[in-house]
Amino acid sequence: MTTTKASGGGSRLIAATKAQALAAHRKKLASLERLIRRRLATVVESFYDIGVALTEILKKKLYAAGGHASLEAYLAATKLVGVAQAMKLIAIVREIPREVALAAGPERSYALIGLAKATAEPDSAAELIERGTVAGQPAAKAPVRAIAAAAKAERAKRPKTAATKEREKADAAVVKGLRALLRGVGLGAGVVGVEGGEVRVAWTRAQAERAIARGG
């Protein structure tokens, strides 16, 4: 009888501890969510704070306290930030110190992360921002397009692996298939591109209006 009581008491203690932890996580998640919503109003100045909050939600899996299986599911449900933008901000926080990133801005900072990874030199995005140059300009002030072009050129210098060739072949098949699908329904192919896990279609205004009319 004594053993049963002790076991029951231990189970209640464990349950209470778990409940307290869940409540604490829910409170922290709500606090970080409020911070992100406030900072979104001034996203140019506050993007780093948003990235820090998203990083904490991801690292500590706080999204689970809100009943979500992943950060992506949490963002889709709350509509705080798009998943792609969230991943960019998290990458910036991981790779670049606050003041350095603030000086360069979010888009340039992220572009320079890509350039640093593309180059053969063991440099970092932070180092590029502080003393690097792109297209004859200080990296911290270089246009994002110029940085992206430099990264593309660096990647082109590398010998392609079998996996890269296979991915490019698969991407080309997606582009070709989507163009054919769009033309088949009379919408015009537009400009179709594959970037990572995203497929983007750029239409003219006239093409978009035709698509809307057909959908109606």
User: pLDDT by residue for the chain (216 residues), tens digit each?
Assistant: 444 444 666 788 888 888 888 888 988 898 888 888 777 756 666 899 999 999 999 999 999 998 999 999 999 999 888 999 999 999 999 999 998 998 899 999 999 999 999 988 878 999 999 889 998 999 999 999 999 999 999 988 877 778 878 888 888 888 888 788 877 766 666 677 777 677 777 767 776 777 777 765
Burial tier of 213 (Cβ tally within 10 Å: 0-12, 13-18, 19+): exposed
Q: Which of 75, 94, 91, 77 has its CA nearest to residue 36? A: 75
Q: Which one-letter amino acid corresponds to residue 83?
A: V
Q: For position 107, what pLDDT does the model report?
A: 92
Q: Which residue's structure tokens are 């998640």? A: 29
Domain ranges of the chain: 11-95, 105-158, 162-215
Q: Which of 21, 62, 14 has its CA nearest to residue 6? A: 14
Q: Which one-letter amino acid corresponds to residue 96?
A: I
